[in-house]
Structure 1
Amino acid sequence: MKLAFIGSGIGSLTTALLLSKEGFTIDIYEAESEPGGRLRYLQRGPYKIDAGPTIVLLPEMLLSILEQGGIARQELDLIKCDPLYQICFPDGTSYVKYPDVNRQKEELLRVFPQDVRYFEQFMKDMKQHYEIGDAMFLNRSFSRRSSAFHPKMLHSLFKLKAYQSVRQRAASYFSNEKLIDAYSLQTLYIGGDPMSSPGLYSLIPYSEHAHGLYYLKKGYAGLASLLKSVLEERGVRFHFNELINKIDYDASGVKGVRSEAREETYDKVIFNGELPRLYDLLGHMKKRAPSFIPSSGCFLLYYGLSTHYENKMTHQFFLPEQFLYHMKQVFKTKELPTNPSFYTFYPSAIDSTLAPEGHSVLYVLVPVPSGDGVDWEREKERFASMIEEQIEQRAFPEFKKHIVWRDVKTPLDAKADGLFEGGSFGIAPVLKQSGMFRPQMKPLPIDGLYAVGASIHPGGGIPIVMQGAKLLADEMMQKPAQWGRGELG
């Protein structure tokens, strides 16, 4: 069987990895010069840093899928982050998160003693919820309507309290506002608002404790290079710098793809890109494109520094006095944040391969609105200067005098790169775009047309996209899904 993949993001690479073992003939078309999509490096001379995803969650899921595809676990050098990260509040309070529950309770006794007993209940309840969510949502596709709206599925959504937001779920356990923030900000990992992302995403902060948080040595983008190498050895053909501009199909299904350079016939076509663009490739189907809600955007700052900071955590979050007001500006009013939270990724704390000796690299992410509500051409430098003041005051002393180089990316750049409305995470994880309501691997009634990626069920985040790729590969190999241990009576 002959397959065409449009786009070489982690969804395509993982699906191709699994199918290339089964004798499929595979072509991967990529408009850029390298594979990986959001998994890519930003390099300046001897400095290198991930430009996209940084936090490795669900390591067992990631490793087991790669292993199924024929990549041994030891080929990836995963470093466990312990502590997980630090959350810093403007009044000087800091809260450190640990993978070990007992150490976490000690930290709670230090900072939020009144909430220790509620943390124990949170972990107990979320363990049960994770088992349900894993079986009912992560390990199942909803391409068939009968399974999507099966009473078991609807019962599972109710059990997971999907009708509540992640912040409401956190507030049902914790009394301190800072702690509620600490256990709901994780929706930002997938571009979601803590106030509107459904409660099933409360499994993210639980998973950090239960499964750990890791860093991939030399950067997450190295995974794309590894997959490319393995796939090429198996005969998978990459067509770089080649933009597909049309998918050919008729009443019987897909026929092939077209670019400026060629027309090719294929048995099946897999689209891995921003979902609204799929409709553009189908000609008159563009008129039927649904109205999607984009994820948040990111204001990204990258630095090479002429110093190395000791005793700094790889991951840190810095919250403002009014975190919820920042979220309102990002997701509701769509305006330039006035006093934003920000996240710092300092991989040089545990990886000396990314910069010259005695130097380091730093990545800073500020959640900002997607869309066209902010004039980034006018605001970019002023906003960057404001964030740099915060970085120096709250995170890295004398940081500015050590800057060797700096790069800044805004949602305007993301939109120019083809990301939907400049959002960094595909479509938003709101209820009507989650679970069975999210676009599925068969997004349209065209035989032989499939989709994979952050905007497709089960959702965003590298391991979750890889899980979606596994579901797709199983579908194409006609492996039936099974009810798991989370089956409800």
Structure 2
Amino acid sequence: MTTKKVIVIGAGVGGLVTAVQLAARGFQVQVVERASTPGGKMREVAIGPHRIDAGPTVFTMRWILEDVFADAGAALTDYLSLEPLEIIARHAWSEHERLDLFAERERTIEAIGDFGGAAEARGYRAYCDKAQSVYETLEGTFIRAQRPSPLGLMGRCGVSGLGRLRGIKPYDSLWRVLGDYFKDPRLRQLFGRYATYCGSSPFEAPGTLMLIAHVEQQGVWSVIGGMHQIALALAKLARGLGATIEYDREATEILTARGGASGVRFADGEVSGADAVVVNADPAALASGRLGEGIRKAVRPLAPNSRSMSAMTWCLRAETEGFPLARHNVFFGRDYASEFADIFRHARLPRDGTVYVCAQDRACGEPRTTPGAERLFLLLNAPSRGDRQAFDAAEIKQCEQRVFSHLENRGLRIHRSPESTQVTTPTEFDRLFPATGGALYGAATHGWRTPFTRPASRTRIPRLYLAGGGAHPGAGVPMAAISGRLAAASLIEDLRSC
């Protein structure tokens, strides 16, 4: 059969995994990326000579990437060095209220018992068992499935699995489900935060997101050299299989012929033909016409009020004192409901928001032995209105003052300077990821129906496919990788039937 050519627009994790899968099967693959490096949202920021991860910072479900590399005849460990974390995350509510979650489940149970009492420890044990059951029910039937639907999900579960399917409580919010296991509101906050992993509110996200707790219990790793190494490794693997990757190359229009995608026009006017096109960008870029008026109908448009969250982030090098930072740290506010009401109902920066701090020079929670400045990434969840309302200097300054005062009130003092700090707002995220308003996770996962409405690999236009966190199965590095595999599988099936 004549070698088929595929153009992949975007070199994020989803696009790179698609390229690897196709190139390993003999397709001619051309990846084009408008940025100067791979990774998409898995980006780095430079503070002088220092590189700071400014996107995803948590690496879980390593077996997904192990499978991707194995499919291509390679080994993940030949490309990446990974270090398992003993402490999954350190959490604080005040200078004296702290709780660590550990990779070892029994240590976490003991820690929760010391923190909240024996009943909370028993609740956590039951919660872990339920989270495992939810994950095992949905892993093959939903997460890895093409174009899931409620009926399809029930069909894949079979008669024997219907009982387990009824038990995953998709109609209850995550916050409501957590109340069955924890009476301490701080623990409901902690485990409710998993909804933010897909840019959503725990008060509106379905209870099935408890499965994230099980995923983290299977291991969290730090990537030596930073998360950006994952993108570099995938790009290297794709090139080794024969794919070409062109950086600083912007696609401006997807061309169609014979009723389907037929090529791409670039910003310089050049046209490249293809048998199929894969878009590794937010689906909103298609629906907005940014890749051509002729493909607006490829996906349904997403209303701005259905977007996931954006963020305010700070990348900096600074000396710290007080709080004993682990690699991943979460500093909670007191009123969780008001935080998400601010973001989703009032479309404003939260007045008492949770602040995440990734201390990227720390690994297993041991005290830092090297004095001086360290690399920090701070994140505050924010509304995705970067395309409608810019954040002015005064608003950013006020937000910054609240964030660093919030940290000081919980024991962490950061001695920062403007020249060693880079701030990114939803406006910048909208510029980096067009048509999103700065939303970082595609559509918000609110209500039981939304997981089934997220765009699938196949679009409404033949030979045009989607990969990335905005497509099924959702946001996050492992989910984006699965989306890349699903896009490649759909494309191969369709072209073979032509």
SS of the aligned residue for 1:421 comes to coil
SS of the aligned residue for 2:458 comes to coil
Match of 1:431 among 439, 447, 455: 447
1:306 positional shift = 5.0
Determine the structure 1 residue equivalent to 2:316.
303
Structure 1 residues 143 and 193: alpha-carbon distance in aligned structure 2, compared to 1, 3 A threshold:
closer
Match of 2:429 among 410, 414, 418: 414
CA distance in 1, matches of 2:105, 2:363: 23
Determine the structure 2 residue equivalent to 1:169.
177
Determine the structure 1 residue equivalent to 2:147.
142
Determine the structure 1 residue equivalent to 2:26.
23
Match of 2:326 among 307, 313, 318: 313
SS of the aligned residue for 1:95 comes to strand
Matched AA of 2:200: G
Matched AA of 1:259: F
Determine the structure 2 residue equivalent to 1:59.
62
Structure 1 residues 237 and 311: alpha-carbon distance in aligned structure 2, compared to 1, 3 A threshold:
same
1:307 positional shift = 6.6
SS of the aligned residue for 1:413 comes to helix
RMSD: 2.7
Structure 1 residues 426 and 440: alpha-carbon distance in aligned structure 2, compared to 1, 3 A threshold:
same
Match of 1:381 among 383, 397, 400: 397
1:9 positional shift = 0.9
Q: How many residues align?
A: 473
Matched AA of 1:204: I
Structure 1 residues 402 and 263: alpha-carbon distance in aligned structure 2, compared to 1, 3 A threshold:
closer
Matched AA of 2:53: D
SS of the aligned residue for 2:415 comes to helix
Determine the structure 2 residue equivalent to 1:84.
88
1:404 positional shift = 6.0
Structure 1 residues 403 and 381: alpha-carbon distance in aligned structure 2, compared to 1, 3 A threshold:
closer
- Report if the CA contact (8 A) 1:142-1:148 is conserved: no
TM-score, normalized by length of structure 2? 0.88
SS of the aligned residue for 1:364 comes to strand
Structure 1 residues 257 and 386: alpha-carbon distance in aligned structure 2, compared to 1, 3 A threshold:
same
Determine the structure 1 residue equivalent to 2:123.
118
CA distance in 2, matches of 1:307, 1:196: 36
Determine the structure 1 residue equivalent to 2:293.
283
1:159 positional shift = 3.4
CA deviation digits over 1:235-290, x for unaligned, max 9? 21222222211111145322111113311111010011011111312414537742
Where do residues 26-37 of structure 1 align in structure 2 (5 Å cutoff)?
A: 26-37=29-40
CA distance in 2, matches of 1:473, 1:316: 36
- Report if the CA contact (8 A) 1:306-1:404 is conserved: no
Would you say 1:14 and 2:17 are equivalent positions?
yes
CA distance in 2, matches of 1:461, 1:401: 30
Match of 1:272 among 266, 280, 298: 280
Where has structure 1 moved over 4 Å in runs of 4 or more?
A: 143-146, 148-157, 306-311, 372-375, 401-404
Structure 1 residue ranges without an equivalent (≥5): 480-489
Match of 2:335 among 295, 301, 322: 322
CA distance in 2, matches of 1:460, 1:401: 31
1:152 positional shift = 4.4
Matched AA of 2:466: A
Structure 1 residues 161 and 467: alpha-carbon distance in aligned structure 2, compared to 1, 3 A threshold:
same
- Report if the CA contact (8 A) 1:305-1:404 is conserved: no
CA deviation digits over 1:15-64, x for unaligned, max 9? 11121111100111111111110112111222111011101122222323
- Report if the CA contact (8 A) 2:59-2:222 is conserved: yes
Structure 1 residues 145 and 2: alpha-carbon distance in aligned structure 2, compared to 1, 3 A threshold:
farther
Determine the structure 2 residue equivalent to 1:217.
224
Where do residues 151-190 of structure 1 align in structure 2 (5 Å cutoff)?
A: 152=157, 158-190=166-198
Structure 1 residues 457 and 324: alpha-carbon distance in aligned structure 2, compared to 1, 3 A threshold:
same
CA distance in 2, matches of 1:319, 1:306: 22
Matched AA of 2:135: Y
Structure 2 residue ranges without an equivalent (≥5): none
SS of the aligned residue for 1:160 comes to coil
- Report if the CA contact (8 A) 1:304-1:404 is conserved: no
- Report if the CA contact (8 A) 1:143-1:441 is conserved: no
TM-score, normalized by length of structure 1? 0.90
SS of the aligned residue for 2:403 comes to helix
CA distance in 2, matches of 1:42, 1:91: 30
